[in-house]
Chains A and B, each alone.
Chain A
Amino acid sequence: DQQVKQNSPSLSVQEGRISILNCDYTNSMFDYFLWYKKYPAEGPTFLISISSIKDKNEDGRFTVFLNKSAKHLSLHIVPSQPGDSAVYFCAASVPSNTDKLIFGTGTRLQVFP
């Protein structure tokens, strides 16, 4: 039972444009969400997070939006750069156990010149 879903396995975007990565979840108890970026053969790197009490969080070129009613979050990268090419994972946790993150299957982003 995949509680966190990233339905687009891949996304291709031109440099300078906006990249939008999507994530859906089924468990309404999730109250904290994170995005990680991963290069091949390396560990993931934390990017940005959002609590369920917010609907938006920004950090430089990265913005995460949360729509609780739709159980949907998205990561916007503006402007996209070639170095952003990586696999992006969203993850979620419940209040009773924030250590037990549940990850999505990832979306591979390719930014081309």
Chain B
Amino acid sequence: DGGITQSPKYLFRKEGQNVTLSCEQNLNHDAMYWYRQDPGQGLRLIYYSQIVNDFQKGYIAEGYSVSREKKESFPLTVTSAQKNPTAFYLCASSIGGGIPEAFFGQGTRLTVV
């Protein structure tokens, strides 16, 4: 089945530690995205990548880093510089080329204690 896989579904980390969230897609999509959702708020774009080996900052990139070494994979690292890392993180992909309709993964809920 084609789709987007995020792992793990739930993640707990101690404050001050970096953590990497996995996102893999087998839809052969060029574009991939990371969003963050907080209670009572919409999805906010963290980073996006339109093509392998290239990525751009979204609206709330501070404290996060990404890489896009393979078309299928777009991992997100939440660094210790991110002041409020506890949130629901969503990865998405789209065909790209100006077509914004995106397919989302199931999400990872990160809790930092």
Contacts and interface: CB of A to CB of B under 8 A. Distances in A.
Interface string B29-59: 0010101000011111100101000001011
A112 interface: no
B104 A44 contact: yes
Interface in A67-113: 89, 91, 93, 98-106
A42 interface: yes
Contacts of B98: 98
A32 interface: yes
B83 to A, nearest CB: 20
Query: Interface size bucket, A side?
Result: 20 to 34
A106 B37 CA distance: 11
A101 B90 contact: no
Given A43-B92, A99-B50, A101-B45, A34 B101 contact: yes
A103 B102 contact: no
B107 interface: yes
Interface in B1-38: 4, 6, 31, 33, 35
Interface in A21-75: 32, 34, 36, 41-46, 49
Contact of A44 (B44, B56, B90): B90
A101 B31 CA distance: 13
27 contacts: A6-B42, A34-B101, A36-B104, A42-B106, A42-B107, A43-B4, A43-B91, A43-B92, A43-B104, A43-B105, A44-B43, A45-B104, A46-B102, A46-B103, A49-B100, A91-B42, A93-B100, A98-B100, A99-B56, A99-B100, A100-B48, A101-B100, A101-B102, A102-B42, A104-B42, A105-B42, A106-B42
